[in-house]
Structure 1
């Protein structure tokens, strides 16, 4: 696996690069101190993951994200920043990021974030994703999760609404199917009308739409 880390702060970059090598001993980690240098690496290397700082000396991380996704639409890009702002996070999602990791996260949270995005999930800070607490999320039941809206208010069937709740918590089709004891194809069949009803074509767009419409899932006061 090839990982590109774009961050202009030497100490932060070296520390994260060292951590990445510990997590993925067989991975090759490329480092860049500017967006231009990172883009040059991306043009000659086959990359599986890019960690992109939000604030770079030659251009903003969000602008860089947009360019990366234009040139490499299938590239998995995660914003990696000390800034934790809801508007910035969801702007990153709009631009195609698979996740947003705050630099103050614990090692465990960092590992989980990488695991999620590499498996196809969208990763958000827990407070913004409306995820339950660590204790609640370790339980496969929906105990403690109280939706703040109803299926009828969204024009969804009860099953579509249930699937939407799990999507909002970042679960893949496979994970949702396992939790609901249904076939993965059944989940995909339900996703099509959900996407149509919200006027989106992918998960990140759906999460942004939920945020924009003030639709809240998760524990009371937890956020999106």
Structure 2
């Protein structure tokens, strides 16, 4: 879990105050000790990040000012230690794929039930990735011959260091952050990820995330 303990700082980035209030109510029991911070825009979120450290950011894509994938990319750059999960109304698989590609650790539809929301965030905090079922039902081009069993078997062929690298990569964090957290070089991070992709039969970290979500993987 974040911080290695049951204390989590959550930043809610959504321009609808009522929705933010609802999220706080729904997620109050996510962990034993949880603190919520609120931002109605990307700009305010960055201001808050300069003063506080966040474990997880819940981001709506439709914001005033900088929004959409631009907002996600900016927050990924400025709040690089945090896990970012998009909570929005998008249903298009292509857009959700782009969200993961831009560095999100998961995507939760706004229409999700309380139970799904809690389960999704607990999975993310445990080092996993959550995606709606309809986004992972179809196989990716490089996975046409792959099966869930083959991915599960492949995981067993990874070293502890490769698994540790994959775990942080699944959170959407940049190679420099992975290197810092594992106290290794960026070149070593790239080597570990290349080995992971080869073992899993995927081409990049985005496909690795989808493969992990498909088998319900958390490491």
Which structure has more relative contact order (CA 8 Å, sep 6+)? It is: 2
2: distance between equivalents of 1:117 and 1:34?
23
Rg comparison, structure with higher value: 1
Instruction: Give yes or no for contact 1:93–1:205 (8 Å, CA) kept in 2.
Output: no
Instruction: Give yes or no for contact 2:85–2:108 (8 Å, CA) kept in 1.
Output: yes
Instruction: Give yes or no for contact 1:163–1:187 (8 Å, CA) kept in 2.
Output: no
2: distance between equivalents of 1:191 and 1:52?
27
1:194 CA displacement: 4.8
So what's the TM-score if we normalise by structure 2? Answer: 0.67
Structure 1 residue 93 corresponds to structure 2 residue 95: no
Q: Which stretches of structure 1, 4 residues or more, deviate above 6 A after TM superposition?
A: none
Structure 1 residue 55 corresponds to structure 2 residue 62: yes
Residue 6 of structure 1 is matched in structure 2 by 13
**Given the alignment, which residue of 44, 55, 60 partners 1:37?**
44
Instruction: Give yes or no for contact 1:52–1:61 (8 Å, CA) kept in 2.
Output: no
Structure 1 residue 128 corresponds to structure 2 residue 123: no
Q: Indicate the SS of the match to 1:23.
A: coil
**Given the alignment, which residue of 133, 139, 145 partners 1:150?**
145
- Unaligned runs of 5+ residues in structure 1 are 132-147, 152-157, 168-172, 211-216, 219-224
2: distance between equivalents of 1:185 and 1:49?
25
Question: How many residue pairs were aligned?
Answer: 173
Q: What is the correspondence of 1:183-198 to structure 2 with a 5 Å cutoff?
A: 185=160, 188=163, 193-196=195-198, 198=202
Residue 117 of structure 1 is matched in structure 2 by 124
Q: For 1:100-150, what per-residue CA distance to the aligned partner results, in whole angstroms no more than 9, with x for missing partners?
A: 00011111110111011111112101111239xxxxxxxxxxxxxxxx843
- Unaligned runs of 5+ residues in structure 2 are 1-7, 167-191
Residue 29 of structure 2 is matched in structure 1 by 22
Structure 1 residue 162 corresponds to structure 2 residue 157: no
So what's the TM-score if we normalise by structure 1? Answer: 0.65
